[in-house]
């Protein structure tokens, strides 16, 4: 049986309880709303851009520890990245949590989500903010993990 401690690492629970990037980007250049109809979670992600470089990412909404920590750490690693880099990181992150890739080329902080691969029901929690930010960057306002 997979170890729960691998899922709820200290960094995950810390960011879940005390998120640093909750709120609304100001000015806000793109916005996305993500829904996980399975658990009723809803997240709004706002992004401030400067020449296709992400200046700030903020999120708001209700979510579990995994989705909140993932949103917060996503915001942390995306600051200063280009839109293209963000998409690359998301692809690798998705592969990591779905158990199809490693954390080798990912920003260090995202490696804490390696444990999610052992909990397939929670992959959607870990990726909701990412799906939402990518949709926001692509100009799509509403996404769902279903």
Partner 1 sequence: MSNTQIIADSFPALHQTIGDKRLVYLDSAATTQKPQCVIDAITSYYEHDNANIHRGVHTLSMRATTAYENARQSVANLLQASRKEEIIFVRGATEAINLVAQAFARPILSVGDEILITEMEHHSNIVPWQLVCEQTGASLKVAKVNDDGSLNIDSFKELLTEDTTIVAFAHVSNAIGTINPIREMCALAREVGAISVVDGAQAVGHIPVSMSDVDCDFYATSGHKMFGPTGIGCLYGKHALLEEMEPWQGGGDMILSVSFEETTWNNVPFKFEAGTPNIAGAIGLGAAVKWIESFGYDTMIQQEQELLAYGRDVLRSIEGVTLIGASEHNAGVIAFTVAGVHPHDVGTILDHEGVAIRTGNHCAEPLMRRFNLSATCRASICVYNTRKDLDHLGSAVQEAIRMLG
Measure the CA angle with vertex 97, ends 95 and 101; round to 5°: 35
Quickly list DSSP for 27-65.
S-SEEEEEEETTTTEEEEEEEEEETTEEEEEEEEEE--H
CA distance 68 to 60: 9
DSSP tag of 120: G
Residue that is written with structure tokens 């997979």 in the block: 2
Q: How far is CA 81 from CA 11, 51, 75, 146, in A?
A: 22, 11, 10, 28
Instruction: Choose which of 28, 31, 64, 98 interacts with partner 1 (CB under 8 A).
Output: 64
Instruction: Choose which of 57, 66, 77, 128 interacts with partner 1 (CB under 8 A).
Output: 66
State in angstroms the smallest separation of the CB of 143 from partner 1: 17
By CB under 8 A, residue 63 contacts partner 1: yes
By CB under 8 A, residue 122 contacts partner 1: yes
Q: Closer CB to partner 1, residue 54 or residue 74? A: 74
User: Residues 33 to 62: which contact partner 1 by CB under 8 A?
Assistant: 37-42, 62
State in angstroms the smallest separation of the CB of 62 from partner 1: 5
By CB under 8 A, residue 139 contacts partner 1: no
By CB under 8 A, residue 4 contacts partner 1: yes
Q: Closer CB to partner 1, residue 41 or residue 72? A: 41
By CB under 8 A, residue 65 contacts partner 1: yes
State in angstroms the smallest separation of the CB of 36 from partner 1: 9
State in angstroms the smallest separation of the CB of 101 from partner 1: 22
Q: How far is CA 134 from CA 7, 13, 24, 138, 140, in A?
A: 24, 24, 16, 6, 8
């Amino acid at each position: 049986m997979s170890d729960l401690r691998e899922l709820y690492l200290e960094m995950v629970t810390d960011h879940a309880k005390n998120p640093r990037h909750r709120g609304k980007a100001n000015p806000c250049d793109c916005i996305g709303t993500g829904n996980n109809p399975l658990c009723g979670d809803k997240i709004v992600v706002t992004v401030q851009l400067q020449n296709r470089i992400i200046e700030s990412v903020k999120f708001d909404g209700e979510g579990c520890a995994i989705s909140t920590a993932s949103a917060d750490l996503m915001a942390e690693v995306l600051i200063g990245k280009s839109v293209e880099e963000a998409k690359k990181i998301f692809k690798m992150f998705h592969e990591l949590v779905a158990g199809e890739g490693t954390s080798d080329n990912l920003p260090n902080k995202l490696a804490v989500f390696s444990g999610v691969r052992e909990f397939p029901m929670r992959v959607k929690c870990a990726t909701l903010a990412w799906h939402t930010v990518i949709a926001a960057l692509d100009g799509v306002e509403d996404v769902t993990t279903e």
